[in-house]
Amino acid sequence: MGLLLATTAACTTAPVATPSGSSSTSRPATTTAAGGATSAGRVTRLVDGDTLWVSGVKVRLIGVDTPETRRPGTPVQCFGEASSLRMAALLPVGTPVRLGYDRARLDRYGRTLAYVYRVSDGLFVNAELVLEGYAKVLTVPPDTAHQRDFEALQRSAQHDGRGRWSACPLRS
């Protein structure tokens, strides 16, 4: 596949295994956006595929959306459980993470908005979920630093039928 994400700041890249087991895909190992603000902590709780708690702070991943599993009054959406399980596999409770920020720090629900990186290997979790088909792109301005990167990853996942793109009838 050989896809390299462009970033808004200097970064290093690291090859990572794709769902097919190859290691030809690379993505930012570290990056910062919109001024370079970052913080670090440990995963203390997982909510679903795009929301978690880091050191007592509720964090919503920027730029991605996973199917709902816990919205009151609505059924679990197609691939929702799989997305939640993938998040748990990528970031088990206790995992050290680094949070990178874009322009907005909080969403309308008071959650901290962040790009999440696993400290052990620099894995860009937001991008990984899109690449593997567990999440789709959700751009909410002004947080657009990685929009094009995420859109390219989503096109790749759709083209290859990864994750939700082969499992869900509406493929939305």
Residue range 118-158, pLDDT digits in tens = 999 999 999 999 999 999 999 999 999 999 999 999 999 99
Query: Could you report the per-residue pLDDT of 24-38, keeping only the tens digit for each?
Result: 344 444 444 555 689
Q: Are 37 and 101 in contact (CB under 8 A)?
A: yes
Q: Cα 117 vs. chain centroid, distance in angstroms?
A: 9
Mean pLDDT of 21-25: 37
CA 115, CA 171: separation in Å to the nearest integer? Answer: 25
pTM for the model stands at: 0.78
Mean pLDDT of 98-110: 96
Per-residue burial over 78-105, b if 16 or more Cβ lie within 10 Å, else e, is: bbbebbbebbeebbeeebebbbbbbeee
Which residues are identified as catalytic?
A: 60, 68, 111
Predicted confidence band of residue 23 (pLDDT cuts 50, 70, 90): very low
